[in-house]
Amino acid sequence: MDQKIKKKLEEIVRVNHAGELGAQDIYKSQIKFCKDDKLKKELVKISQEEKVHYDYFESLILKKRVRPTLMSPAWKVGSFFLGAITSRLGSDYVYACTEAVEEVIVKHYQEQVEYLDKNKIEENLKNKIKKFCEEEDKHRVNADNSIKKEDFSLKIFRSFTRGVTKMAIEISKKL
């Protein structure tokens, strides 16, 4: 296999593993601090779905012997605080967090699928990412539809969350 392609595959596995780990930590924190039983139940369900994604990339990182991101400790702390803060701010912030993160992840996964398809490699990985992308998009749509009151501060928060997510992706690809 071409070294450039091998490096790109390692990057895909590393960044997806980091992202799914971050998702787990955000949801765990939101669940821990959530006071709304209905929302908490929803978060548990989504967290369980995301755990399947994490488990897949965890097994792949071991199987393919890919180094995880060096940023895991920082992402763990950031994810915890993002989950805790959004949970304390209320359901609209929890949903806005999910919507913003998933919007970035869906686009990110779509780019990976295009790359794998274009290079005609890793059909199994491509199919898993496609499946996960569909599930992430359902989370995004559900979250977006669940927001009750869209105000200026929520728009700013979404924009901030999208930016942080994009930054974490770019850093995790390399470190």
Q: Which residue has tokens 């369900």?
A: 45
3 pLDDT band, cuts 50/70/90, is confident
Whether residue 1 is predicted with pLDDT greater than 80 in this model: the reply is: no
Give Cα 97 distance to the centre of its chain.
11
How many whole angstroms separate alpha carbon 55 and alpha carbon 17? 9
Instruction: Supply the range of the domain harboring residue 30.
Output: 3-174
**Residues 140/50, Cβ–Cβ less than 8 Å:** no
pTM of the model: 0.88
Q: What is the CATH number of the domain that holds 95?
A: 1.20.910
The H or E element that residue 83 is part of is helix 72-89
The pLDDT tens digits of the residues spanning 107-130 come to 999 999 999 999 888 889 999 999
How many whole angstroms separate alpha carbon 32 and alpha carbon 35? 9
Domains of the chain: total: 1
